[in-house]
Structure 1
């Protein structure tokens, strides 16, 4: 208990300190990055972030200004072309709503970004310049400036500059040049992106407060569960130990995610170590939670003492899901700085989705078989618990499917991340749904004086007799002869049913 209280105090302290000492901006570092050919231009993407204007009603002006600052941005060309004159290299910053203002007339079947010789002859632009048009919102945007190589120099450095952000939006930075002789050009240095609230990009900022809230929610759930566990530890059975593990993993996961975002907000650099730990704890929690739901659906610890031959199959499915999910989450989160969503490749997303679907099918198929056994053995208390569990699980699956369709709709309508201020809701929803289902399971199987009523009993009819023990207190009266014959007949049928059930139990063990 003292460990969990200490964790709560640390979270509260970190929360208060993050509000007091909010620092500068998000740091995008470039280490010998190469340009890529796009149409008639060579392009390197320098970053994308949602930035709140310091003039917004949500923030105060003054020292909390928003900007994008260039620090030691150096372009290096190969030595073999150092004796050739070159066209300038440009930095282009624009808000996503102004994306159509970059580029001009069609050229070679594509929109031309660079001013070509043909366009220069028409007097539209100067050769080697970037074609762009002023924004309808602000005539000073997009911001375009550049630098050229001097004589035989191998490097050219952009002058230190800071671009003030006066309009809330999703901003994009691209370095662009139009010289084929510089196709092997590399860029080094860094840019600093400042939000009024600190280093965190705009889309990620709400998640820090969300994970702080979820950390406290898991602490509350943990206090409830561990207090019940301590009071009735003699009545605890294996399934409840598994639930304890999931709650503990959830507490660590939420705390690590909070510290990941808090550290990012403090330094401007994504902490790789904390991110990996947060991803790993989260993946383990999701894997263990799915396995627990599956074995509960199979009736483990309730109508069967072991999984028998199914144990290896369950472990194999869990390990495969963990591997696929861990790979996906690491690629999605580790080192991610820009406000770009949906970067994971399709071949990493599909295995996780397929394994999730397999879990769901197996769970509901197992629940159906367990229901039949509980009904046949007339285990009323366990049957009621499983009915509530099935209802909660069905609601969670239906809500999940509905949210998946909404997520697909949201992403299809937000190709350019224009709705970045709402994007944090998507990952937050899955955490809330997982926590809600865990809370329901914790309430249904919480340790209590009657915990053993939910556990496996070797006597198939034992619980039925326990539930109806009050009937034995009624003094029996004389029984008519025709009812005696009827009772004898029913007894034979019950014995036959019991023999069949015992056979099913033995078959379960062999499985």
Structure 2
């Protein structure tokens, strides 16, 4: 396994177990793992923009070894164990490790590699970067005598080149197999603690909050103006708009707190994620209910209500778990491929919802066409076109997202990674705007609503058609006589009446 593969393996491990609570990475008796011919602990991975105020600093980093390992050593010995702190930029990942005779790549220097590459046996293989010979950075920490622990001197490493930086704590000493570590590291960007991938999202949520506020202002002005004509459907749209505004504001506040304080409290992030999961669930159920013709071709959902609510509860749970896994305690600039088992249920439910929505929409369009309700039919056709465009855009974006992650295993394109998250918020907002446009409150809102009059008019039309058919079959002579009377003017009519009077006499 070469070092590039080791980086991926360790990033995946870090995604699964987490490495801290914020951009201040906290290590609490974290254990080293056996990786290749080394013992390794991942310290973090973040995109950092170069500036005079960008750095990675170490605070109270302490290592502990086992009592069994310490008892085998003499109290008088100066150096009885080495741990190396390695910081490198993703583009320089090949400068860590080496391979003897084209074989498996090793992190630690072996006897063969010591002869070939001049490295020091028992230490991490480091090849100076072509761009800056001082990089990768390696800091040495030694145990003394038979001490159980050793403390690293606090250090600050300033970042002079923009890139994706990785931190590893590595030991090549077999006696330090069960090493554990505590302490924390600070990762500082020019504008705060936010990792490089997340930083653009803070500004994005400002713009999204303003967009929702503007939509909210326009909608509520119409909502209040035509209060007496408001439909149940328009009440639901109002709730979704309010939830969207609340969610975007909370996300900005959470990111701003993270950027200023360097911590990401679990309670606050969980609360924001929960609001987002509620908004997504309500939005999808609203689209489903509209597609079923709720309030337009049917007054209630009838027997489907329990099924819709069950689907909503299931979707909320799946969305909540996925968002918690992706956001709560997440600080590294990484993708969520390790959480595939949480992505799949969410994706399956989305696919099921899309299928149900379009099936229901097709039936609703057929009913409106049969009732010859041109106004509602036109609205639903526009709505179905918007939904189809949204589904096509979603499918295309999912394909792009898969390609983006597959072609960037080391997250070197972290500067543009925020777009992956932002797209879904933009798409949801665009679809909400379409619904607001199609079902905007007005003095004619009631023409969108379900009404028994539509049913009666439809029955009257059927009755009129049947009567016409009955006349044409049973009273052909009478119809012909009436036509003849119209053709000949009033004379024929009077003639028939006079003849009838004569017969009566």
TM-score for both structures, normalised by structure 1: 0.83
Whether the aligned pair in 2 keeps the contact of 1:259 and 1:274 (CA below 8 Å) is: no
**Matches of residues 78-477 of structure 1 in structure 2 within 5 Å?**
78-85=66-73, 86-106=80-100, 110-120=104-114, 124-460=118-454
What displacement does 1:344 show?
Answer: 4.5
Say whether 1:67 aligns with 2:55: yes
Structure 1 residues 65 and 486, CA, compared in 2 at 3 Å: closer, same or farther? closer
Whether the aligned pair in 1 keeps the contact of 2:62 and 2:150 (CA below 8 Å) is: yes
What displacement does 1:448 show?
Answer: 1.1
Worse-superposed segment, 198-207 or 107-116: 107-116
CA distance, structure 1, for counterparts of residue 116 and residue 71 of structure 2: 30
Whether the aligned pair in 1 keeps the contact of 2:41 and 2:168 (CA below 8 Å) is: yes
CA distance, structure 2, for counterparts of residue 28 and residue 449 of structure 1: 57
| Candidates 458, 463, 468, aligned match of 1:489 | 468
CA distance, structure 2, for counterparts of residue 486 and residue 370 of structure 1: 24
Structure 1 residues 405 and 343, CA, compared in 2 at 3 Å: closer, same or farther? closer
Query: Residue 42 of structure 2 corresponds to which residue in structure 1?
Result: 45
CA distance, structure 2, for counterparts of residue 108 and residue 141 of structure 1: 24
Worse-superposed segment, 336-345 or 166-175: 336-345
Which entry has the higher C-alpha Rg, 1 or 2? Answer: 2
Deviation sequence 1:73-130 (CA, Å, 0-9, x none): 1101122221345430000000000001110115996311012345446673222110
CA distance, structure 1, for counterparts of residue 25 and residue 137 of structure 2: 18
CA distance, structure 2, for counterparts of residue 277 and residue 67 of structure 1: 31
Whether the aligned pair in 1 keeps the contact of 2:231 and 2:449 (CA below 8 Å) is: yes
Whether the aligned pair in 2 keeps the contact of 1:453 and 1:463 (CA below 8 Å) is: no
CA distance, structure 2, for counterparts of residue 121 and residue 291 of structure 1: 67
CA distance, structure 1, for counterparts of residue 191 and residue 177 of structure 2: 39
What displacement does 1:460 show?
Answer: 2.5
**Unpaired segments ≥5 residues, structure 1:** 1-24, 55-63, 466-484, 494-511
CA distance, structure 2, for counterparts of residue 201 and residue 361 of structure 1: 38
What displacement does 1:271 show?
Answer: 2.6
Query: Residue 503 of structure 2 corresponds to which residue in structure 1?
Result: none
Whether the aligned pair in 1 keeps the contact of 2:229 and 2:441 (CA below 8 Å) is: yes
CA distance, structure 1, for counterparts of residue 285 and residue 465 of structure 2: 46
Structure 1 residues 486 and 338, CA, compared in 2 at 3 Å: closer, same or farther? closer
What displacement does 1:375 show?
Answer: 0.5
CA distance, structure 2, for counterparts of residue 399 and residue 204 of structure 1: 24
What displacement does 1:404 show?
Answer: 0.7
Whether the aligned pair in 2 keeps the contact of 1:70 and 1:162 (CA below 8 Å) is: yes
Whether the aligned pair in 1 keeps the contact of 2:193 and 2:261 (CA below 8 Å) is: yes
CA distance, structure 2, for counterparts of residue 247 and residue 429 of structure 1: 18
Worse-superposed segment, 109-118 or 124-133: 109-118
Say whether 1:26 aligns with 2:23: yes
Tell me, what secondary structure is at the counterpart of 1:91? Answer: strand
CA distance, structure 1, for counterparts of residue 338 and residue 288 of structure 2: 28
CA distance, structure 2, for counterparts of residue 461 and residue 311 of structure 1: 22
Tell me, what secondary structure is at the counterpart of 2:29? Answer: strand
Structure 1 residues 32 and 460, CA, compared in 2 at 3 Å: closer, same or farther? same
Deviation sequence 1:349-393 (CA, Å, 0-9, x none): 111111100000110011110011001011111111101111111
Structure 1 residues 302 and 83, CA, compared in 2 at 3 Å: closer, same or farther? same
CA distance, structure 2, for counterparts of residue 267 and residue 370 of structure 1: 52
Matched length: 442
TM-score for both structures, normalised by structure 2: 0.84
What displacement does 1:305 show?
Answer: 0.8
